[in-house]
Chain A
Amino acid sequence: MVTIRVARAEDLQGMQACNLQNLPENYTMRYYMFYLLSCPQLSYVAEDEGRIVGYILARMEEDVAEGDEPHGHVVSISVLRSYRRLGLAKKLMVLSQEAMASVYRASYVMLHVRKTNRAALGLYKDTLKFSVHDVEKGYYADGEDAYVMRRSLKDLTS
């Protein structure tokens, strides 16, 4: 049975394994530790009988530019193919966003997505109410451009 909850240290290996199976953008354990330990309230996992089947890895952006507001950053989000159609990505994202708003008073959340990733774009735009803010050319290691997407959290900030 799938349960959704805040990520803990013992989930990190599972998150890493899930990421490696699903996405070409991977990280060493150091990074997972760093993101989790810097903003422990923002990362969530979907767990099925001890196995991590989905996760969202997020943090608050540290360097806030002049005139910019505090904002959250979704570093990585992924659900195993065998666990799709359960709405897990949406649930993980919403929980993380609520924490960004209530704990850190984030004004918005941002993420990067491949220009050609129609499935993800659909999820972010239509289901999760993100909009394209900018394009970052050559963002990905293989040279593909990224859409920088944003979603305001003003409706969640108490």
Chain B
Amino acid sequence: MPPAVVPPARALPLKESALFKEVLHYYEDRQLKKGLKTADTILKKFPNHGETLCMKGLILTHMGRREEGLELVKQGVRLDLTSHICWHVFGLIQKGQKNYEEALKSYTQALRFDKENMNILRDAAHLQTQLRHYDALVETRHTLLRLRPQLRQNWIALAVAYHLNGNLVEAKNVLEQFERIVKNVPDYDIEMSEILLYHLRVLEELGEYSEALALLDANAKSRRIIDRTAIMEFRARFLSKLGNADAQQAWQGLIEQNPDCYDYYKGYLANRGVDLDAITDETRGIALQTLRDFSQQFKRAAAPQRIALSVATGDEFKSLIEPYLRARLEKGVPSLFTDLKALYRDASKRDAIESAAHALLDSFVHAPDAPCPSHLDPTTYIWTLYFLAQHHSHLGRHKRALELLDTALAHTPTLPELYMFRGRVLKRCGDPYGAARWVDQARLLDLQDRFLNARCGKYRLRAGLIEEAVDVFGLFTKKDAPSPAQDLEDMQSLLYLTEEADAQLRNGNFAMALKKYAAIQKVFDDFEDDQFDFHGYSVRKFTVNIYLNLLKWEDTLRSHPAYVHAAIEASRILVKVHDDPSLATKSASQSHLSEAEKKAKKKAKKAEKKVQEEAKKASGSSTNEDKGLDASPSKDDDPDGTKLLQAPEPLERAAKLLKPLSTLAKGNVEAWIAICDVAVRRKKYLQALQALNHAHSLDADHPELHIRIVDFKRRWSSLSEKPSETVTSVVSSSFSKLLPDEVSLEHFNSQYLQRHPSRGDAILAAAKVSRILGAPREEVESAVFGALNATVELTFETALAIDSFLSEIQSPREDEFRTACKQRFELSTLFEPRDKLPELRKSAIQKSIVDTNEEKDEIIS
């Protein structure tokens, strides 16, 4: 109810009051020109009428004149602070800008002055859900229900609000009440069906299986619930939980309906007392018999046969694996290795697979010049070679894998999979250029296949060939997009953005890398914003179960590896910039746009100009076109990322990026290291120490952790003024568990090295610490050269890191190290002398397969 007394500034004489009502109607019908004109008429006489100013601002926003519109709305609000219309309009604008926190504040204000306005209440409910203010949501939904109990949605929405707020019992009560009073439900009403399925879910979460089963059976019979799969799934679970004899039949029915669903077999077997994740000698027999029967019954289904492989052991496994392999190799199933890979955790199964596959291969062996014996299928031969190549490469036997692949390629040079995998093996050996070249050849075999194209692009990015990668991607992106990169970004390709960001980082272009990591961050922000419309939509459609599922996903959105990786890498760049601000300016002078990027920039500028000109024209002729309230996409005013790199407060920005990781990536050591690095520089010592402790509990020997422990001690010791007593005491007691007080840093470091003498990464970490502690360069150098000893486990990635380190300390022995690595990593091209780089990059791109084969001979000879 609006307040009893209308403040004088708001009241309008009869004529203008009628005009104002017209403005509201015009706005509702989106007759924007008329609405604007009418509003101006009012304002001529009453220039300070807050509500009219707000409406005018709203209309202008819809017409695309957003800045003007916002100004007017703000003005209007200031002139009439107790008008629900003003606050509502302000809220609408803020909501359109995705500024949900502020919008909710405006809506809350609006509700103060019009407590029972349905529109405002509904919008407020959506905002409360978006912001996860579930207490407030329950209240709002109560009000809405009280005001309009005849509306089904209001009942369901209240139940959902209770559910979200953690009160399942109340949710259930609301649903029961609703079902008691609802009338006139038509036959085959999908909405009612969904409501009942939601009710069942609530009961299941409450563990009230008997009641759930009763509700289910009653409504399934009366055909009120029409989703057969959902009925069957619920039913099977309830019957199992109740130990009901009908459960087996229920699971059987599900398997009959979809014999490719792993969960159904899991449920069936669990019901018979067999836990597929924890097979015992007792349960093994039942499991295998059951799976045998199902395999017979459902010959087209892969699941029963594959599950049997996980369950079986020893001779039984051997008897199953041979026909399984054979059937799929004869069919030519590319994913066979990926399918069986999980079994390799069991060494005996891995060996059995190897034997079976090799036995099969041996049956194909014939003299290289002789034709393939007629009774053998050449296809099977090729796929067996392919499978074994994958097998051996997985076990680190890359040379063997390459031999097998080359045999296959000589036999069948037209199978893209062979080229792709050969590329992959080279990647694993540290030859990204060769890898890119081979994957490109795969791509050339089928230019219509986007999958091959995407792989090629990815491998080019891995080889640092950014422009060439974008060219390849561009063969499948939209022709009218400003650039292939822009299209992939618009389509939210996290794969592309991640790979390009990483490539830019490897190339030392921090600005562009940061820009792409920021683009990834924005994709996730968009994913988060996208849920907003569904707060209303799903309630209206009653598809509550999937809606709740959506909210749950949104709650852990940033646990996705792409976000975690982007946040960690971006924070590392920002920390680097904080430590050395000259990096930001250096990057600016170094950054040069590639030809393609310059062209794209020009094109974008042209397009932007066109848009501006058309907008000017449009505002001149003031069309009725409704541009809506959503914020228009911002133009890219930082094409080479320098602005972003130079932006102030890098540490604060880094902290913000990393924040979700402390809950959503708790098991990720690198995340905690990143959090520590930022915290320690922001002088938040407790937070830093907490991060170190988390990292320590996950992997006490992690090399990066070792470095950070030393770093922390040095920073802490060098503080002229310790922070408060409480902080100091906590730090002192807690830190001593990581590094005992009486142990010197030098000693701590040598202890670490002594514990891990054959780990290349540990040797590097210890050397870095020595350097930090002031050891002379020669000493540090010989320390890392120790990583080359035959007894040390050294990956090429670590070798590269050592090489970087030697470069950082300006070691004259860097070339010596690279040469030694070149010998050790025979197939790698990452330790070639630097002047060979242009040639290597060129070799990664081929024009045709014919060229390739010729050049291949040259390289080998």
User: What is the interface of chain A, defined by CB distance below 8 A to chain B?
Assistant: 1-6, 8-10, 12-13, 16-17, 20-24, 26-30, 33, 36-38, 40-41, 48-49, 53, 80-87, 91, 95, 98-99, 102-105, 141-142
Contacts and interface: CB of A to CB of B under 8 A. Distances in A.
A2 B546 contact: no
Given A2-B302, A26-B491, A37 B547 contact: yes
A142 B263 CA distance: 41
Interface residues of B, number: 63
B258 A4 contact: yes
B229 interface: yes
Given A1-B306, A29-B526, A29-B530, A41 B450 contact: no
B479 A84 contact: no
B547 A29 contact: no
Interface stretch (B87-95, B330-338, B586-594, B798-806): B330-338
Interface stretch (B214-222, B492-500, B813-821): B492-500
B549 A22 contact: no
Given A10-B553, A37-B534, A103-B190, 7 more contacts: A1-B310, A9-B554, A13-B494, A26-B491, A37-B546, A41-B230, A105-B188
B550 A95 contact: no
A33 B492 contact: no
Nearest to A47: B262
A136 B692 CA distance: 61
B450 A21 contact: yes
B537 interface: yes
Given A20-B495, A29-B492, A33-B530, A13 B560 contact: yes
B599 interface: no
B307 interface: yes
A41 B553 contact: no
A39 to B, nearest CB: 8
27 contacts: A2-B260, A2-B302, A2-B339, A3-B263, A4-B258, A4-B260, A6-B229, A8-B546, A10-B552, A17-B493, A20-B454, A21-B454, A21-B495, A24-B476, A27-B491, A33-B530, A37-B534, A37-B541, A38-B537, A41-B229, A41-B230, A48-B339, A82-B335, A91-B260, A103-B190, A141-B478, A142-B479
Contacts of A27: 491
A3 B339 CA distance: 11
Nearest to A101: B228
A144 B307 CA distance: 44
Contacts of B478: 141
A124 to B, nearest CB: 17
B261 interface: yes
A5 B263 contact: yes
B534 A24 contact: no
A116 to B, nearest CB: 9
Contacts of B183: none
Contacts of B450: 21-24
B380 to A, nearest CB: 13
Contacts of B303: 1, 3
Contacts of B331: 85
A14 to B, nearest CB: 10
A60 B227 CA distance: 15
A119 B310 CA distance: 34
A91 B298 CA distance: 13
Nearest to A23: B450
A86 B188 contact: no
A38 B190 CA distance: 12
Contacts of B495: 17, 20-21
Contacts of B227: 41, 99, 102-103
B153 interface: no
A81 B258 contact: no
B530 A3 contact: no
Contact of A9 (B307, B477, B546): B546
B324 interface: no
Contacts of A99: 227, 229
B492 A49 contact: no
A67 to B, nearest CB: 21
B332 A85 contact: yes
Top 7 closest pairs, chain A to chain B, by CB: A3-B262, A40-B546, A81-B451, A4-B260, A9-B553, A9-B550, A26-B491
Nearest to A95: B258
B14 interface: no
B300 interface: yes
B342 interface: yes
Contacts of B491: 20, 26-28
Contacts of A5: 258, 261, 263
B479 to A, nearest CB: 7
A9 B549 contact: yes
B338 A82 contact: yes
Contacts of A83: 334-335
B82 to A, nearest CB: 37
A109 to B, nearest CB: 17
A76 to B, nearest CB: 13
B545 interface: yes
B31 interface: no
A34 B527 CA distance: 12
Contact of B449 (A26, A37, A81): A81
A120 B782 CA distance: 61
Contacts of A87: 300
A30 B531 CA distance: 8
Contacts of B339: 1-2, 48
A135 B769 CA distance: 69
Contacts of B417: 82
Contact of A37 (B226, B306, B334, B550): B550
A21 B451 contact: yes
A49 to B, nearest CB: 7
Contacts of B493: 17, 20
A36 B334 contact: no
A46 to B, nearest CB: 8
B543 interface: yes
Nearest to B228: A102
B226 A8 contact: no
B48 interface: no
A3 B417 CA distance: 23
B228 A103 contact: yes
Contacts of B490: 28
A37 B538 contact: yes
B584 interface: no
Contact of B494 (A17, A53, A84, A103): A17
Contacts of B480: 141
Given A9-B546, A38-B543, A30 B306 contact: no
Contacts of B526: 28-29
B452 interface: yes
Interface in B314-335: 331-335
Nearest to A10: B553
Nearest to A143: B479
Contacts of A9: 546, 549-550, 552-554
A33 B543 CA distance: 13
A81 B546 contact: no
A33 to B, nearest CB: 6
A46 B414 CA distance: 28
A86 B302 contact: yes
Interface in B392-450: 417, 449-450
A6 B89 CA distance: 41
A4 B303 CA distance: 10
Given A33-B534, A86-B302, A49 B342 contact: yes
A76 B480 CA distance: 22
A29 B562 CA distance: 15
Contacts of A22: 450-451
A23 B449 CA distance: 8
Contacts of B451: 21-22, 80-82
Contacts of A36: 546
Nearest to A142: B479
A84 B451 CA distance: 12
Contacts of A95: 258
Contacts of A84: 334
